[in-house]
Amino acid sequence: MSAQPQNTRPHSRPVKRTRRITAPQITARKGGDPVVCLTAYDAPTAEIIDPHCDLILVGDSVGMVVHGLPSTVGVTLDMMILHGQAVMRGSKTALVVVDLPFGSYEGTPETAFASASRVMMETGCQAVKIESGSYAADTIAYLVERGIPVMSHVGLRPQSMHVLGGFKARGRRQAVADEIVRNAEQASKAGSFAVVVEGVSAKIADRVTQAVDIPTIGIGASPRCDGQILVTPDMLGLFDRVPKFVHKFGDMRAQIDTAVRQYADDVADRSFPRDENLYIFKD
């Protein structure tokens, strides 16, 4: 078993910051302190995770974990903007990246710019993310040249699940593994400030990390990536079933169930509301 990378950060998080992290600062972390990333879709969650995270992703995973959709394909630009606005209200110092949803950027670079510029203007976020197939390099370069920082995404690409045959780890065939590395290299050269590497073997993720000059953010990839990201409701234990690569750092489902059960019991036996919960006016 390979050795786990040493944690170069002291256990003193949250780190006190006065200004929001920028995309160039994330890029500068290549090969340095691991970049801590999580998703958020609402203001309260963003406020809680902001002091602990370098980057918050408003992911199109919102379609599945918040709206109950079967995949991310049904997520719209309006949905991403609504949730991006909420996260920006709750966060203070983490870099906020908003996913461009399926159908909003793949056609032409001009289409992508229209979508990305709208997202940035209406949410105030600092960057966007796109899933990066072989088509993406020209689009990334076009956006970056026009002032829009872009995070790319290779490996398992959820928006392509119908073509890929579902949510399956990628790279079992050498040709596919080589394509993943090539897509990451093209995205890096085109100007991406970081690249998410999802659902691949550690060997492939390590190849990507070594091949590009920007930080790799792993999710179901390798502990040697330059950073890590998880879907926050997954890592908090809000769902019974989670992907193989998720470690549940909490058990929020059980805690919510216990709290709601207690509430229901207290309402049923009329012990809630209590005196301290009532408005009592003096005569």
Name the catalytic one among 47, 106, 179, 198.
198
Q: Mean pLDDT of all residues in the chain?
A: 91
The answer to whether position 14 is within a domain reads no
The answer to whether position 4 is within a domain reads no
The answer to whether position 206 is within a domain reads yes
| 198 is annotated as an active-site residue | yes
State residue 105's pLDDT score. Answer: 94
Round to whole Å and give the CA distance between 105 and 235: 29
Q: CA-based Rg of the chain, rounded to a whole angstrom?
A: 21
Asked if the model's pLDDT at residue 273 lies above 80, the reply is yes
Looking at residue 171, which CATH number applies to its domain?
Answer: 3.20.20.60
102 DSSP 8-state letter: T
pLDDT-derived band at 283 (thresholds 50, 70, 90) equals confident
Q: What is the mean pLDDT of residues 135-164?
A: 86
pLDDT-above-70 percentage for the chain: 90
The answer to whether position 165 is within a domain reads yes
The answer to whether position 164 is within a domain reads yes
How many alpha carbons lie under 13 Å from residue 165 in its C-beta half-sphere? 3
The answer to whether position 95 is within a domain reads yes
Bridge-partner residues for 130, per DSSP? 152
178 annotated ligand binder: no
Q: What is the mean pLDDT of residues 98-105?
A: 95
Q: What is the mean pLDDT of residues 66-84?
A: 96
Task: For 46-63, write each residue's pLDDT tens digit.
Answer: 999 999 999 999 999 999
122 annotated ligand binder: no
The answer to whether 150 and 129 are in contact (CB under 8 A) is yes
60 annotated ligand binder: yes
The answer to whether position 98 is within a domain reads yes
Task: For 179-216, write each residue's pLDDT tens digit.
Answer: 999 999 999 999 999 999 999 999 999 999 999 999 99
The answer to whether position 99 is within a domain reads yes
Q: What is the mean pLDDT of residues 248-256?
A: 97
Domain of 109, in residue numbers: 23-251
129 annotated ligand binder: yes
134 annotated ligand binder: no
State residue 19's pLDDT score. Answer: 93
Q: What is the mean pLDDT of residues 262-269?
A: 98
Say how many domains are in the chain.
Answer: 1
